[in-house]
A and B are shown apart, each in its own frame.
Chain A
Amino acid sequence: MRMRIRGRCWLVGDNVPTDAIVRSHLITRPMDEIRRHVLEGLNPRFPLEVRTDDVLVAGRHFGQSSGRAIAVRALKATGVGCVVAESFARTFYRNAFEMGLPILECPGITGRVSEGDVLTVDLEEGLVIDETTGSQLQAAPIPPFLRRMLEAGGIIPIARQLAEGTDR
């Protein structure tokens, strides 16, 4: 897992539900179709223009409502390199680490970065650097257990390590 991500900033607000990341009627569609509709109700340009390693910046309680893993898979499929938010809904938080989508909790980020800014996210140091404005924000540290999961690429590799006894 790369611990440094650089890309353009996309913004969404507070309390974004998983229903808005992937609408319910799309859940059973192929991922190639789903990814072209991610967050379209909130930011119609996002699914059309998002590029690999772009950074999605959200407000409080991102990914609330149903804990559907497809919301994380769909975001990964768009190429988003990292999601930074004031806070996450806890099911989204779990799913992101378990499926290897880098996320950072960064209280105070709302209003400090603008859409289109170039951001560098340093997962190791928990830093969000806005290269467009030169400002820098300190995120909450990732707990060691979850850092290990992130480095392994998710919870499945952790399960394999447990099964093979290579964990001990």
Chain B
Amino acid sequence: MNLVEKILARASGRARVTPGEVVVADVDRILLHDLSCYLTARVFEEEVRQPVCHPDRVVVVFDHHFSPPTEEQARMLQENRAWARRHGFHLFDCGSGNIHHVALHAGFIRPGTVVVGSDSHTPVHGTLGCFATGLGNYSHAALGLPFGKAWFRVPELVRIELEGTTGLGVTPRDVALFLTGQIGEGGMVYRALEFAGPYLEGLEVFDRWLFPLITVDVGAKSGHVQPDERTLSFLAELTGERPEAVRGDGDDVAEVRGWTVDGLEPQVACPPTVGNVHPVTESAGVPIQWAELGGHGGGRLQDIRLAARVLRGRRVHPQVRFNVVPSSRWVFTQALREGLVEDLHRAGATWFPPSTGSNQAINMGALAADETMVSTHARNFPGRNGGGRMYLASALTVAASAVAGCLADPREFVR
């Protein structure tokens, strides 16, 4: 069996499972953010009203609000707090960081487990060798909270093999954007993805992170990296405990697809969709007014380091507002220690509290109809942040564009 089948078989108490069948499996972790927590709580309290089966498995992170801008939102967060406390869930309040980074840093994600959440980027936890996927609020309210379970249609597995070496100015984020464009939105509907190959295996954990992150955008159910020595030492350092690794047997794969990253140019997802990916050179010169490091895929320490490489000794363009949103308090602490907070601040960037940043413009990042943003975020659909147009790119491209005042090829900035 492959990794997904092994995990689902264990969790559903079966000797084996096969693609296409529906199983009801035990869930090891339920992740809810401030928006989904509110909706899930309402369904649960109004329509289900059962005791919670495993409250210690539920993690609530307020990440779309670092601070509520309206009384209505403040009330919603108060209801969430009361609900989380009443049931004894783990609660991380405003300013903690992005839900997925917080859950990982707190040691809640273990290889071989089933991780679910309402956030559609929950599959990112496959980075550590979990079966992780996004479910609706009704799944959590009806089966997850009262019974500790969820239903899954067992997916077919596709292995994505990446090889080669990227050139100067080309980052793992560019490779992930490139793959989204190559596979296409909906190109892997219902399937699970296994990211593999020498390029991928050579990346550190938080760079591998960018690959399971794209699974939802290509329509896949989950995406993972088989746990290896790097995964296990990362977790040992994080939690002080070396976990058991579950690995797939390597044969039960429906399809293998491969790409080389040799010669790849920096990539940008252009409006209006995440799959509209092109080399940055094709969009260079498009004026921007906003740049942001943040979101599920950005605001990592790696992103802040990359931006600092561009910004040291340079200034953010006077027509551009450059917002930097660390993905966790840990990232901000590290950025402070490395002098990156001062580097970016002096260059004219604005630091925001750890959070998910301007995703859906809940507490920041609304665009006027004639404005354009380039960011490390994961989504660029029209209407998501008000009016305006959104480009998605690597931290290097975001920082280079912030300096240039328009979409810019970062290779000219990191020679």
Interface set of A (CB-CB < 8 Å, partner B): 14-15, 17, 19-20, 23-25, 28, 41, 60-61, 64-67, 69-70, 72, 87-91, 93-95, 98-99, 143-146, 154-156, 158-159, 162-163
* B382 and A60 contacting across the interface, CB-CB below 8 Å: no
The CA of A94 and the CA of B381, in the complex, are separated in Å by 22
B12 interface residue (CB < 8 Å to A): no
* A24 and B134 contacting across the interface, CB-CB below 8 Å: no
CB-CB under 8 A for A98 and B139, given A15-B275, A24-B383, A67-B120: yes
Q: Which of B119, B185, B217, B386 has the most CB of A within 10 A?
A: B185
Instruction: Find chain B residues with CB under 8 A from A15 CB.
Output: 185-186, 273, 275
Partner of B138, one of A69, A90, A162: A69
* B139 and A89 contacting across the interface, CB-CB below 8 Å: no
Instruction: Find chain A residues with CB under 8 A from B386 CB.
Output: 25
* A155 and B143 contacting across the interface, CB-CB below 8 Å: yes
Instruction: Find chain A residues with CB under 8 A from B135 CB.
Output: 67, 91, 94
List, sorted by A's number, 11 A–B pairs whose CB atoms are closer than 8 Å: A19-B383, A25-B386, A60-B189, A61-B219, A64-B217, A65-B381, A69-B136, A94-B136, A159-B141, A159-B143, A159-B146
Instruction: Find chain A residues with CB under 8 A from B190 CB.
Output: 87, 90, 93
* B118 and A87 contacting across the interface, CB-CB below 8 Å: no
Partner of A89, one of B142, B219, B360: B219
Known: A87-B219, A95-B138, A98-B136. 8 other contacts (CB 8 A): A28-B72, A41-B383, A60-B189, A64-B186, A67-B119, A87-B190, A91-B216, A162-B146
* B147 and A20 contacting across the interface, CB-CB below 8 Å: no
Partner of B383, one of A20, A69, A72, A143: A20
The bracket for how many chain B residues form the interface is 35 or more
Closest 4 CB pairs of A and B: A61-B186, A159-B142, A98-B138, A95-B136
* A89 and B189 contacting across the interface, CB-CB below 8 Å: yes
The CA of A69 and the CA of B39, in the complex, are separated in Å by 9
Partner of A163, one of B139, B146, B189, B385: B146
Q: How far is the CB of A127 from chain B (nearest CB, A)?
A: 21
* A24 and B186 contacting across the interface, CB-CB below 8 Å: no
Instruction: Find chain B residues with CB under 8 A from A25 CB.
Output: 361, 383, 386
* B50 and A143 contacting across the interface, CB-CB below 8 Å: no
B138 and chain A: residue at smallest CB distance: A98
Number of A-B pairs, beta carbon distance below 8 Å: 117
* A145 and B22 contacting across the interface, CB-CB below 8 Å: yes
The CA of A72 and the CA of B386, in the complex, are separated in Å by 22
Instruction: Find chain B residues with CB under 8 A from A72 CB.
Output: 136
The CA of A72 and the CA of B120, in the complex, are separated in Å by 15
* B361 and A156 contacting across the interface, CB-CB below 8 Å: no
* B50 and A159 contacting across the interface, CB-CB below 8 Å: yes
The CA of A99 and the CA of B22, in the complex, are separated in Å by 18
Partner of B139, one of A17, A41, A94: A94
* A155 and B384 contacting across the interface, CB-CB below 8 Å: no
* B47 and A156 contacting across the interface, CB-CB below 8 Å: yes
Q: Which of A14, A156, A158 has the most CB of B within 10 A?
A: A156
The CA of A124 and the CA of B213, in the complex, are separated in Å by 37
B134 and chain A: residue at smallest CB distance: A67
* B382 and A19 contacting across the interface, CB-CB below 8 Å: yes
B80 interface residue (CB < 8 Å to A): no
B151 and chain A: residue at smallest CB distance: A145
Instruction: Find chain B residues with CB under 8 A from A89 CB.
Output: 186, 189, 219
* A90 and B384 contacting across the interface, CB-CB below 8 Å: no
B217 and chain A: residue at smallest CB distance: A64
CB-CB under 8 A for A98 and B39, given A60-B186, A159-B48: no
B389 interface residue (CB < 8 Å to A): no
Within 8 A of A (CB), among B288-318: none
